[in-house]
Structure 1
C-alpha cells in the first residue's frame, strides 16, 4: 500500500518538501480544477521523478456524473478527457471524483434515474482510453441540492452495471463519519484508494488522526484492507503526527 498525501497547486511545493522530509510518503493526489492547471502541474515532472512519487488526480468537485441534461453531462466527459490529455507527460495512476448532485426533491422521487445517468457517464468516459477512474463516497446535508453517493447502495448499483476493472472505489473516512454506510464490507473487491482523515462527525474538517471521532478499531480495519493507496487527506501540519499514530496502531493489527 503506497502512502500518500493530498495537495492543490497552491500548496504543492509544501507537499513536495514534506515528501523529501518523510521518505515513506511516495504518492501525491493533486486536485485539478481547470485545464490550464495541467500545464502548471506538468512542470513538476522532474520533482516527482526524483522522489519516485506516483501521482493521482482529484477531479473538480463541480463535476456531475448524474447530470440530467445530456449535453452538459457529455461536456464533463470531454473536460476529463482533455485533463487526461493535458497530463499525458505525467504517469497519472488514476483520476478520482465524486458522483455529483441532484435537486433533492427529484433525487428522492427517482434515485435510479440519476444513477443510470452516472452509469452512462462512466461508460462513455471509459471508452476513450485505458484511464483508471475511482469514485468516492461523499456526504449530504440535504438542502435544495443533495449529493449522490452517500450510501453504499449507490455504488453497488453502479458497479453491478459497469464491470470494467478500470472503475474502482475510493473510501473516504471523513465523509463516512458524517454519513455512515458499510462501504468496506460491501465494496471490498473494488476498493483501491483510502482517503484518511478525522472530524467531529458534522464538518468535513480534514483533521489529523486522533483529533476527531474516528475510532481506533476502524483504523485497524482499514490497515488490513488490500487497498493500493492510503492517502492522508489532512492538514499537512498533522502528517507526521498521524503517521506516528498509524505506526502505533499497526503494531496492534
Structure 2
C-alpha cells in the first residue's frame, strides 16, 4: 500500500517538504479546482520527480456527477478531460470524485434517478480519459441539499451497472465516522484508495488517528484491504504521529 498525503496547489510546497522529510510518503493526491492550476503545477514537476512521487487528482467539491441538467453534467466530463490532457506529462494515477448533491426532497422521492445520472457521468468520463476513477463515500446533514454517496446502497447500485475496471471506490474513514455503513465488507473488492482521517463523529475535522473516535480495530480491518493507495487526509501537524501509529498498528495486523 502506497502512503500519500492530500494537498492543494496553495500548500504544495509544504506538502513536498513533508514528502522530503518522511520517506514513507510516496504519493500526493492534489485538489485541482481550476484549469489554470494545471499550468502552475508544472513549476513543481522537477521536484516531484526528484522525490519519486506519484500524483493523483481530487476533483472539485462542486463537481456534480448526479446533475440532472445534461449540459452541466457533460461540462464536468469536459473539465476532467481537460485536466487529464493538461497534466499528461505527470502520469496521473487516478481521479477521485464525490458523486454530488441534490435538493433533499427530490433525492428522497427518487434516489435512483440521480444514481443513474452518476452512472451516465462515469460512462462518459471513461470514454474520455484513460485513467482510473475512484468515487468516494461522503456524509450528509440532510439540509436543503443532500449529498449522494453516503450509503453502501448508492455504490452497490452504481457498481452493479458500471462494470469497468477503471472505476473503483475510495473509502473515506472520516466521512464513515459521520455517516456509518458497512463499506469495508460490502465494497472491499472495489476499494482502490483509502482516505484516512479521524474526527469526533460530528464534524469532518481531519485530525490524525488516535485523536478522535476511529477505533484501532477498524483501522486493522482497513489495512487488510488490498487498496493501492492510503492517503493521509489530515492536518500536516499530525502526519508524524499518524505514521508512527500506523506503523505500530501494521505490526499487529
Return 5+ residue gaps in structure 1 as ranges.
none
Displacement after TM superposition at 1:49 (Å): 0.8
Q: Distance in 2 between matches of 1:129 and 1:64?
A: 18
TM-score, normalised via structure 2 length: 0.99
Distance in 1, matches of 2:42 and 2:122, equals: 26
Question: Which residue does the alignment assign to 1:103?
Answer: 103
* Counterpart Cα distance in 2 of 1:38 and 1:139: 29
Looking at structure 1, the residues matched to 224 and 235 of structure 2 have their Cα atoms a distance apart, in angstroms, of 24
Deviation of 1:35 (Å): 0.3
TM-score, length-normalised on structure 1? 0.99
Deviation string 1:99-139 (CA, Å, 9 cap, x unpaired) is: 00000000000000000000011111101231211000000
Indicate the residue corresponding to 1:149 in structure 2: 149
CA contact 1:171–1:191 (8 Å) conserved in 2: yes
Could you tell me how far 1:33 is from its partner in structure 2? 0.2
Give 1:89 shift: 1.4
Q: Secondary structure at the match of 2:26?
A: strand
* Structure 1 residue 56: Cα displacement: 0.8
SS of alignment partner, residue 93 of structure 2: strand
Write the distance in 1 (CA, Å) between the matches of 2:42 and 2:163.
Answer: 32
Say whether the 8 Å CA contact 1:42–1:89 is kept in structure 2. no
Q: 1:203, CA displacement in angstroms? A: 0.2
1:42 shift after superposition: 2.2
Contact 2:67 2:117 in 1 (8 A): yes
Residues 4 and 29 of structure 2 are in contact (CA less than 8 Å); yes or no, is this contact kept in structure 1? Answer: yes
Structure 1 position 129 matched with structure 2 position 113: no
Q: Distance in 2 between matches of 1:190 and 1:42?
A: 32
Q: Shift of residue 223 of structure 1?
A: 1.2
Alpha-carbon distance in structure 1 between the residues aligned to 2:112 and 2:147:
14
Deviations 1:174-210 (A, max 9, x none): 0000000111111111101000000000000000111
Report the Cα offset of residue 235 of structure 1: 0.5
Structure 2 matches for 1:1-253, cutoff 5 A? 1-253=1-253
CA offsets 1:31-82 (integer angstroms, 9 cap, x no match): 0000000011122111111111011100000000000011111111111111
